[in-house]
Every structure is written in C-alpha cells, then in structure tokens.
Structure 1
C-alpha cells in the first residue's frame, strides 16, 4: 500500500546564471515533497523581480501538491514583477496543466533558455545551493 518514498524524494540543484535562478528538479513532486519544495521556492521568490527557471524534465511525477507549489511560485513571482518559466518535454505534465485549466498560466519551454545551459560560462555565478540538495 505504501511505497518506499525514498525512491521518489526529489532532489534539486540550483545555479545563478546572470540574474536568472535555474532550478533543476528530479524525482516526484507529491504530498510529501511538495511542501519543502514550496518553502524553497518561497525563499527564491522573496525578493523583487525574481527570474526563475524550473527545469522539470527530470521530474517523473507531479500530483496536486506539486501543482500547488508551482502555482504558489507563479503567484509570488508575478506579485513581485518577476518571471517564471517551466522547462518540460512531458506531454503528460502539459496535459495535466490543461486539464486543471492551467494550460496558459505558465510560460512553458521545451529546453533551457539560451545561456541557462549547465556549462561553465563567463557570466555564470555559482549559487550557494548549486550542489545536489535533497528536498523532503
């Protein structure tokens, strides 16, 4: 009935590229992992004009708690005059967003924006949380 949640615990890495924070999420975003993720996204969206890219390509599952964390981050970014982009190639996630009437709520990209690719580059500054961090 209960599965071993350790397999689904999402990890994330963060890096600052120019003024954009790129967060790569991995694993499942569900009832157990959504709240700590939401807390981290709150911290990343606390200042004025946050520019946040969430790379969801390595995410294997998102439930309503994950959607809540994404919506909360979106609302905080918009309230502070910032920008939030989701990166996903998952037809399943895009279908879920459409089914819950969030299809047009997010700026969705199929790949990382130019300059946000994880390669050393003169304009990038490592973020203190740039090593893998377990959330949840």
Structure 2
C-alpha cells in the first residue's frame, strides 16, 4: 500500500512512503509537526516511532526545511517512543546536510527510549541535546538572554 504524505504533490515519488500490508499507516506511527518559533528557529516536533518505516517521513520533512544559511533547526524528540537504527541514520544524515547548508541543528530528548540509542552510538557527543525545548532555542537578539 502506498500512502501519499503530501497530497498537493502526488506526482513526486519522494513524497510518498510504502507501508507493508498488515502494518498501520505512517500517520498512525509517526506525526511530524513543523512550526517557526519566536526565537527564529524552526521546530520539528516528532511524536511516535522513528524506524525503518517512518524514518523517510522525518527525513523528507527535515530536508524540505534546509536552506543555505537558514534558521536554526530544532528536532524535538520528547514525544518519541522508539528510536531505531534507521531513525538514528536519518538524524545523522540530516545533521550532515544541515552542516553543509550552514544550519545549526539541535535535539530535544529527555527519556530513555531516545537517549539510550543516541548514547550507545556516541551521537550524544555529536549533537547538541537539550532536555527541554526552551534550552534548545537560540536566545533572541536584544532579549533578556542575549
């Protein structure tokens, strides 16, 4: 079964994901919400499981946000229940693409199912990881933290 993730561009094959029979659709397993923050950062809030089946959705969303010298990107994994090897790969590739574009990437993670895989793979030394969204957001210029 093919699930069209972006109905506005059904002809673009990179905008769809294949879900094997007997599995729930990606929307049931993973929700990715993007919003701009007052600090100028773009926040990608992720909820659910990031694995081989759902990773392409997160990858596509993150890559669609990367622009040369664009705003900082915060990937909020606070509501992620499972982070598999494919999810780790998506984060690493996204970080590499962001670095090439001159975009700062940070993660929000505070619980075991996300922190453990990041630590086992040594990614806690590669990514800036914050326990709460507020810490990951850049200070506003001219604001009280500037």
TM-score relative to the length of structure 1: 0.74
Could you tell me how far apart the structure 2 residues matched to 1:67 and 1:103 are? 11
Structure 2 residue runs of 5 or longer lacking an equivalent are 1-20, 138-146
Q: Does the 8 Å CA contact 2:107/2:136 hold for their aligned counterparts?
A: no
Deviation at 1:35, TM superposition (A): 1.2
Q: 1:46 Cα shift?
A: 3.4
Q: Which has the higher contact order (CA 8 A, sep 6+)?
A: 1
Q: In structure 2, what is the equivalent of residue 17 of structure 1?
A: 37
Show CA shifts across 1:14-71 (max 9, x none): 1111421011100001111101211111111133234111111111001111111111
Corresponding residue SS for 1:95: helix
Distance 1:60 1:3 in 2: 21
Larger radius of gyration: 2
Partner SS for 1:48? coil
Q: 8 Å contact 2:50–2:82 — kept in the other structure?
A: yes
Of 38, 41, 44, the match for 2:59: 38
From 52, 63, 72, give the equivalent of 2:73. 52
Residues 44 and 75 (structure 1 numbering): CA distance in 2 closer, same or farther, change over 3 Å?
Answer: same
Residues 114, 87 of structure 1: CA spacing in aligned structure 2 closer, same or farther, 3 A cutoff?
closer
**Partners of 1:107 and 1:40 in 2: CA distance:** 20
CA RMSD of aligned residues (A): 2.2
Contact kept, 8 Å, 1:50 with 1:81, in 2: the verdict is no
More helix by share: 2
Q: Which runs of 5+ in 1 are unaligned?
A: 117-136
Q: TM (normalized to structure 2)?
A: 0.69
What does residue range 83-94 of structure 1 map to in structure 2 within 5 Å? 83-94=104-115
